[in-house]
A and B are shown apart, each in its own frame.
Chain A
Amino acid sequence: MRVYLTAVRLSLRRYLAYRSSAVAGAFTNTVFGCIRAFVLIALWKQKPEIAGWDLADAVTYAFLTQGLITPMGIFMNNTDLGPRIRTGDIAVDLYRPVDFQTWWLSLDLGRALGAGMLRTLPPVLFGVLLFPVRLPLSPLRWAEFAVCCFLGYLISFGLRYLASLATFWTMDERGMSSILVALGMFCSGLIIPLTIIPGAVGTVLLHTPWAAAMQMPINVLLGTQSGGFGYALAFGSLWALLLLGAGRLLTDVARHKVVVQGG
């Protein structure tokens, strides 16, 4: 257990060492938060209520999503796992006396915490100060939000982990990861809130695992999640278990493959 906590701490420290890079990233997030906010404002000005959201909800969503991108790894540019598999360095990791999946989860969690510290607050703060962002005051809401975020994080890790493992078979992580990034950008609600996507498409999108990464936590925070916190909790837990479980299975298959091939 201590090994994993150490991994989290070291990974966090490493992320925080590249502070100036994170600051630059926070700037980008803020810029895009503004752009998305203006777009949604233009829409909501025409139609003041859409899918139970008002203008303030939409603007809050715009900045919160930008703040959550990096912890949730939507752009997947911080994983070493894929490249290590491709170069074969992974052999060293496979023989460590730690649980493979938990090890990578710990490393990624450290990164996510660092990103949460440095990149989540700036865009949201900017939105609060200069835009009609409205955050709830109830501590219970925030606690629920935190839980949903954690589940969303586990799901996003689960997805990225599976995609990285696929490198064992495809021997190239760039192709898979770029498709995943494109999917993730849309299905997590980064480009446009999933709740306003009409018809069957919208319904389907609300049930993919990506929906739990950002859309659901924010819905819970805003109080607009249909089925409330209970539904989000169940949904998130289910997908997290499924994805992490699939990850464990796939790890065993991969390990077996590596051993059989002679490493």
Chain B
Amino acid sequence: MTEADDKPLWGPAAYLLLVRIWMRAASQYRVSLVLTTLAQFFTTCLDLIAILVIYTHVQTIAGFTLPETLYLYGTTRLAFALSDVVASGVENLATMIRLGNFDLVLIRPVSSLAQVLADQFTPKRFGKLLTPILTLGWALHALPVHWTVLKGAVCVGTVLCGFALYCALWVLTGCVSFIAVDAQEVANSFTYGSENATEYPLNIFGRPLGLALTFVLPVAFVTWQPSLYVLGHSDPFGLPGFLRFASPPAAALLSGLAALAWRACIRHYRSTGS
């Protein structure tokens, strides 16, 4: 039984492999897939329409103009849609555990996280990408921003760090499933709720909540903080300027936390059923 290659299959490689398999299974139901992708697209438009409707009545909300709010919306929506494409397989974890199928994940010679993230991958998730891309494109065009290289980098970094932050949030919500199966829905309200909340200028939530969303559940770093820099806005909460660039460490911190939490959950896994 000498193996030519002794190292197990790399996590991301296993992830891509499984994603391909799930896509192949999903593509068997063509019509359903098209319809649900369309539905995903419509659903992402809804929040956008809400913002547009709001701005037909006023010129600014909490001191932010329409292009500025759409920039916030576009960046967080895009980051979230990307994380949804990659990581929302974790939503099935509660069912997997309940049915005893998580055991099957653990007997495979690849990362358990990769298998869970890839679970039930479906191309319909791509339907969520179009609206934020278009919106962000329009906002970038309409914004009276004097673009520098640094601002451009921060803009790109916003989406990337936002993506990492959301992925970490997805994994953390998955960890909650190990503790209590019903708790996953509660945890989901934090993921989806964070996304919904960060579409708007964070100061609409008032100071206490705004600070909580910066230092307790660090979703302010998804787009709000770096966007203050890109948009050239002063911070309504009066927080120190270096926080505008703190998205990368925030993302790294939360990702590290998620990885540790996941490992701990596997170690303490109870496995129901015979």
User: Residues on A close to B: CB < 8 A?
Assistant: 20-21, 23-25, 27-28, 31-32, 35, 38-39, 41-43, 46-47, 50, 170, 172, 174-176, 178-179, 181-183, 185-186, 191-192, 196-198
Contacts and interface: CB of A to CB of B under 8 A. Distances in A.
Contacts of B35: 174-176, 178-179
Interface of B: 29, 31-36, 38-40, 42-43, 46-47, 49-50, 53-54, 56-58, 60-62, 182-186, 188-190, 193, 196-197, 200-201, 204-206
A190 to B, nearest CB: 8
A38 B188 CA distance: 20
7 contacts: A41-B204, A42-B200, A50-B57, A175-B32, A175-B35, A185-B46, A196-B53
B39 A181 contact: yes
A175 B34 CA distance: 8
A192 B182 contact: no
A35 B196 contact: yes
A191 B49 contact: yes
A174 B32 CA distance: 6
Contact of A182 (B31, B46, B61): B46
Contacts of A181: 39, 43
B60 A24 contact: no
A204 to B, nearest CB: 14
Contacts of A186: 42, 46, 49
A208 to B, nearest CB: 15
Nearest to A29: B189
A32 B31 contact: no
A198 B200 contact: no
A43 B61 contact: yes
A138 B8 CA distance: 70
Contacts of B185: 21, 24-25, 27-28
Contacts of B43: 181-182, 185
The 9 closest A-B pairs by CB, nearest first: A175-B35, A178-B39, A28-B189, A182-B42, A24-B185, A42-B204, A192-B50, A46-B58, A175-B32
A234 to B, nearest CB: 27
Contact of A196 (B38, B57, B197, B204): B57
A186 B61 CA distance: 22
B64 to A, nearest CB: 9
A24 B39 CA distance: 25
